[in-house]
Amino acid sequence: MMQRVGRINRVSKNPPFDTIYTYNFFPAGPINDNISLKEAAESKIAAFIEMLGNDAKLLTDEEVKSHDLFAKLTSKKIITGEDEEDDPELRYLKFLRDLRDNQIDLFEKIKRLPKKSRSAKKHSENYNSVMTFFRKGKLRKIFMNKGSSIEEVDFFQAAELLEADVKIKREKLEPEFYKHLEENKKEFNAVFMEEGEELTGLGGRSHESKLRKTIKAIIKSKEFTDDDEDFLHDILRLLNEGGIAKATIKRILKEVQGEINPLKILAKIKGGIPQDVFQGTFVKSSADTTGPREVILSEYLIGK
């Protein structure tokens, strides 16, 4: 598809064309059952990944699946050319790829940063804060002090806060940093206790429990397709495994509050769940959390 669109540049300039339209056609489900075009495309993409490598590993440490790339190729942006909202995942992937290819020494230096790395800068809020990235096995969690409370933030929220121009001054770490860091550590340690409580029916007022009840209330709707039901069952599984950031859950609950239409609730859940949760990055299970609890990096954010 990309090669075909790229050939537009070879079109003769005599006579000139003001507009050139590119059309891509994909088979409907029943037709695809016969010609297997989608599967052929996915197998080719998988072959490219195997031969050329996979940039997505730089971002998530997880292998990108061929159907994820196929979904991007068949997206509204590619097919219609209409503008979509900025895709932060693609933006950060491009940034990392450019860094790797054009600033090799800096990229290697970043790869070898020691654990517990820390820095400080000013931010736009009126309070001081510490954001800490933790890891235990394959579990990743990011916690941040926000005034008098501590919240879990997802990857893209953290990346936006960490993002800094090279001209931004590095500030000095103050004693308050270590106090906030210890508070974040306690919140991360509490994750493992909360899991046991939720799975035994305790902690019923938790945000996870509320979203779980909402999904169980609508999951048998006759308006849902089999794929819809499978999606909701996957979300329930992720909730039980602690695989969805609390900030994401709170945002979804706010969106569905007062809504009674199952289809609208489903749409809001789908719209609020980032795709990386299905790639195993944040999923927690007894197999995934073996190993020590580690602090990977922290940043001290100094309020104005």
Q: What tens digit of pLDDT does each residue of 266-296 get?
A: 888 888 887 656 654 444 443 456 678 889 9
Instruction: Report if residue 269 sits inside a domain.
Output: yes
Q: What is the mean pLDDT of residues 94-119?
A: 87
- Reported as a single tens digit per residue, the pLDDT across 199-237 is 444 344 478 888 888 998 888 777 787 778 888 888 888
- 51 and 155 in a single domain? The answer is no
- Look at residue 83 and tell me whether its pLDDT is greater than 60: no
| Structure token pair of residue 208 | 């996870």
Dihedral pair phi/psi, residue 115, rounded to 5°: -65, 160
Q: What is the mean pLDDT of residues 167-181?
A: 92
- 213 and 93 in a single domain? The answer is no
Least confident of 82-86, 149-153, 262-266, 299-303: 82-86
Average pLDDT, the chain: 75
Instruction: Report if residue 107 sits inside a domain.
Output: no
- Reported as a single tens digit per residue, the pLDDT across 236-246 is 888 877 778 78
The whole-number pLDDT of residue 143 equals 93
Q: What is the mean pLDDT of residues 30-58?
A: 61
Dmax (CA) of the chain: 74
| Structure token pair of residue 91 | 């933006």
| Structure token pair of residue 155 | 């990857």
| Structure token pair of residue 150 | 């501590």
Dihedral angle of Cα 167, 168, 169, 175, to the nearest 10 degrees: -160
Q: Which is it for strands 149-152 and 117-122: parallel, antiparallel or unpaired?
A: unpaired
Instruction: Report if residue 232 sits inside a domain.
Output: yes
- Look at residue 95 and tell me whether its pLDDT is greater than 70: yes
The whole-number pLDDT of residue 64 equals 47
- 6 and 128 in a single domain? The answer is no
Say how many domains are in the chain: 2
The whole-number pLDDT of residue 117 equals 92
- 96 and 126 in a single domain? The answer is no
